[in-house]
Amino acid sequence: MSDTTDLTADVPAEEVEEASVSVAEERRAAHDVWVSGTEERMPFATGTDEGAQEMLPSDIDPALAIQEGIEVDDDYVDEDDDHDFGDRQIINMGPQHPSTHGVLRLQMELEGETVVRVKPIIGYLHTGMEKTAETLNYAQGATNVTRMDYLSPFHNELAYSLTVEQLLGIDVPPRANAIRVLMTELNRVSSHLLWAATQGMDIGALSMMIYGWRERETCLDFFEKTTGLRMNHNYIRVGGVAADLPDGWRDDVASLITTVSRGVDEYEQLLNENPIFLDRTMGVGVITPKEVEQFGITGPMARASGVNWDLRKEMPYCGIDQYEFDVPLGKYGDVHDRYEVRIAEIRESLKIVEQVMDSMPSGDYRTEDRKVTPPPRKRIDESMEALIHHFKLFTEGIAVPPGTAYQAVEGPRGEIGCMMISKGGSRPWRMHWRAPSFAAVQALPVMMTDSLVADVVASLASADPVLGDVDR
Amino acid sequence: MSIFIEATIKVIAAFVFLLLTTLIIIWAERKWVSDLQNRIGPDRAGPFGILQSLADGAKAFFKESIRPARADFVIYMAAPIAAVLPALLIFLVIPIGAPVEIGGTEYTLQVMDLNIGLLYVLALSSIAVYAITLAGWSSGSKYPLLGAVRASAQMISYEAAMGLALVPVVLFAGTTSIAGIVDGQQGTFGAFLPAWNIVLLPSFVIFLIAGFAETNRAPFDLVEAESEIVGGYHTEYSGLTFAMFFLAEYINVFNISALTATLFLGGWAGPVPDFLPTAIQWLVPIFWFLLKTWAVVFLFVWVRATLPRMRYDQLMAFGWKRLIPVSLAWIILCAVAIGFREFGAPWS
């Protein structure tokens, strides 16, 4: 019973050793730094009690910089590291830390207050949403994806809906498109306002936090009025939107625009010439345009580094190209540029919203395609066909032909992309998301290394990661 | 009356006054900050939420005090006491009103007028550094350690600036007794301009900035920077021990405000002539003192609601490269001015 079979009993001892060495080397080469809990004894493992995920020794650290096929300007790898760990300590920032924006964990190697190395550890908010999507039909899918990047639910829903519509090969009516643009741009405003609030708080400007939330509230009020919920709306659906805009929406949006612009002016009064704010943000957390491309960073972070890439201009969706707006660009790629770019984006988005308001087309807010949109309740009593369609849509769901589709939209944090493979039927066979926050979190070591702990917080806030988006 | 009885009464009165004031400061800060931030602020406990600090204190008192396993017990428990004691003691030398005459004897509204009053204040505020450093170190945890290191660097360098800012005041007053400095600020320049030390503007500004740093208040609150090092030195403290650090911080805010009012804003001296009937005349100086002190307290709160936090290296650079050279130059200027005044121009 209790026989323990030694698998290596027949093999000569030196061969085993040789084999394990080569396997270890191979694994190291293949997995580079992301292997945690390697069998080898590491310099840190002896002296610290950091748990399972130790920092790896410095000699394989360049791997962190040079991931497969990608070469990175590694300003954060200390080449002549002499392994003097006497003054260094490893500190875990997060997952429960006031300013890690959810449950990000940063493992930092500190020398005094200087950050020598950083390793972002993610996965604390992983809920398997991409897998869940495989069991939800296309009508239910939007409720799922809206919870990924919970600060920009409309963008998630939009990316999802556009992808499915691409598979279906249908177009949505112009009014639906206009409503989608209106809601997503307002969502960008609300997300950037929340960012302004947290960025302020993280560098110690406490009032900024409340001011940002205050203006965001006006956006959320409008969302609530339109969709019934403040977040996770499930409003933008396949084939259009769930409901038409509420009565008096023009007044609401007009007053929202006034309130938010006044608020943004106030933020600028509070921060723009504040020497402490400038000191804390200028030259902190710099990302070069080259690094932007290598890490796949998009959105305001890329544009702050001077990379002119905005999907609304490059690959327009929902007819957003018919509205006039500018793409604000930064120059230095530091925290301050990100601040300026985001503040400018709020204004640009409000500009779009204003234009949408003036040019809102009349007509249907969802497609007439009866294979996608359920018939109105009244029609069910009159028409047998309508009853059948209604029944089929709510029992089987929307039938989507086989195919693969990818559609991305410009979210507040960058390119939110949805990749979907359908094998027919009413559920996607596979779904994968391109999360902008993921790329941003990946680039954190570049931004943070060789800065101080206070800068770590400022950089992290300026990256504006949403952990729901990173982990999904 | 025996001097001991007098001292005892004064000490108890000062203690009660200080604790009550602190409770009100905590409440007032929360109220003011909430007004500045478009919030309502505490409004549940008592009218306008004025009992909020009392409720918080009671909560802290009944909370379990959690001690980290790696904490150094003796120092860990001694640190909060070392934080509160100097804060309480500093107040003893601050006069809160003009001397009062009761039954022919004159009593000062100050627990003790030390002839080395200012040095005493500086010495005690130095001890407060120990409390914070030891608290951070003895917690046996990393974030508090970072806070402790920040505290020792910050408070020592700003202690220097603070001391230097006070030198011109001492030079002009010719005494380090705080009652003496207040007496020196009575009267007016010309017709009606009160002769307050605020005319030593560089000293006033540097003292105030150093005061912000000494009390670890925004924008110099990086010792307990919540968004960076969680809670700094008091991360591992809970319950009553935490409440003691909290108490010490607010007593210090009041102390620095009272000192600013006393040393630079004329203390209990009012800007207008006395106007009340003689019976309650003694209340007027107290009113002026409290008004000035609370104005400075409000400044503390206002700054906290407005400014972001400085970074460690910026803070040190600001202290050593700006404040200290400026105060040194200002001391020389003042000394030369006094030299002219006392001995006349060397060429005459």
Residue A110 with chain B: CB contacts under 8 Å: 146
Give tens-digit pLDDT for A195-205. Answer: 988 888 888 88
**Interface membership of A203 toward B (CB under 8 Å):** yes
User: What does the pLDDT read at residue A30?
Assistant: 37
Lowest mean pLDDT among A50-54, A89-93, B194-198, B224-228: A50-54
Q: Which amino acid is at A80?
A: D
Distances (CA, A) of B273 to A202, A319, A347, B226, B288: 48, 74, 55, 47, 12
Provide the token pair at A360: 């809102």
For the stretch B58-106, pLDDT in tens is: 888 888 888 887 778 888 888 898 888 988 888 888 888 777 777 777 7
Least confident of A116-130, A266-280, B9-23, B98-112: B98-112
Of B221, B225, B305, the CB nearest to A207: B305
pLDDT value for A341: 92
Contact A203 B305 (CB under 8 A): no
Chain A environment of B310 (Cβ under 8 Å): 204, 276, 279-280
pLDDT band at A79 (very low <50, low <70, confident <90, very high): very low
Q: In terms of pLDDT, which residue wins out, A32 or B214? A: B214
Question: Which domains are present in chain A?
Answer: 133-470 (1.10.645.10)
Contact partners, residue A323, CB within 8 Å, separation at least 6: A181, A351, A352, A355, A356
Q: Is the pLDDT of residue A90 over 80?
A: no
**Are residues B130 and B111 in contact, defined by beta-carbon separation less than 8 angstroms?**
no
Please judge whether B37 and A207 are an interchain contact, meaning their C-beta atoms are less than 8 angstroms apart.
yes
CB contact under 8 A, A207 and B219: no
Give the contacts of A446 (CB within 8 A, at least 6 positions apart). Answer: A72, A73, A74, A75, A76, A287, A291, A295
> What residues in B contact A99, CB-CB < 8 Å?
227-228
pLDDT at position A189 is 92
Q: What's the pLDDT band for B194 if we cut at 50, 70, 90?
A: confident
pLDDT band at A190, cuts 50/70/90?
very high
A289 prior amide bond cis, ω within 30: no
The pLDDT > 70 percentage for chain A reads 82
C-beta of residue A174 within 8 angstroms of C-beta of residue A363? yes
Q: Parallel, antiparallel, or unpaired: how do β-strands A240-241 and A236-237 relate?
A: antiparallel
Burial (0-12, 13-18, 19+ Cβ within 10 Å), B320: middle
SS3 content of chain A, % helix, strand, coil (to 5): 50, 10, 40
What DSSP designation does A366 have? B
Does residue A200 sit at the B interface (CB-CB below 8 Å)?
A: yes
pLDDT bucket at B347, cuts 50 / 70 / 90: confident
Nearest to A350 by CA among A263, A246, A221: A263
Output the pLDDT for position B246. 87
Least Cα separation, residue B161 to chain A (angstroms): 20
What's the whole-number average pLDDT of chain A? 79
Check CB contact under 8 Å for A112 and B227.
no
Measured distance CA(B335)–CA(B316) in Å, rounded? 27
Q: Summarize pLDDT for B161-183 with one digit per residue, the tens.
A: 888 888 888 888 888 888 888 87
Which of A207, A211, A457 is opposite residue B228, by nearest beta carbon? A457
Residue-level pLDDT at A192: 92
Mean pLDDT of A143-170: 89
**Measured distance CA(B161)–CA(A453) in Å, rounded:** 26
pLDDT of residue A191: 92
Residue A92, helix vs strand vs coil? strand
pLDDT band of residue A274 (cuts 50, 70, 90) is confident
Which pLDDT tens digit goes with each residue over A197-243? 888 888 888 888 888 888 899 999 999 999 988 888 889 988 888 88
Q: Mean pLDDT over residues B308-321, rounded? A: 86
**More confident position, A56 or B63:** B63
> Quick one: pLDDT at residue A37?
46
Q: According to the model, what pLDDT value does residue A28 have?
A: 40
CA of A257 to nearest chain B CA: how many angstroms apart?
20
Lowest mean pLDDT among A161-175, A275-289, A382-396, B107-121: B107-121
pLDDT at B107 over 50: yes
ipTM: 0.83
Tens of pLDDT, residue by residue over A313-360, are 888 888 888 888 889 988 888 888 999 999 999 999 999 999 998 888
The answer to whether A91 contacts chain B (CB < 8 Å) is yes
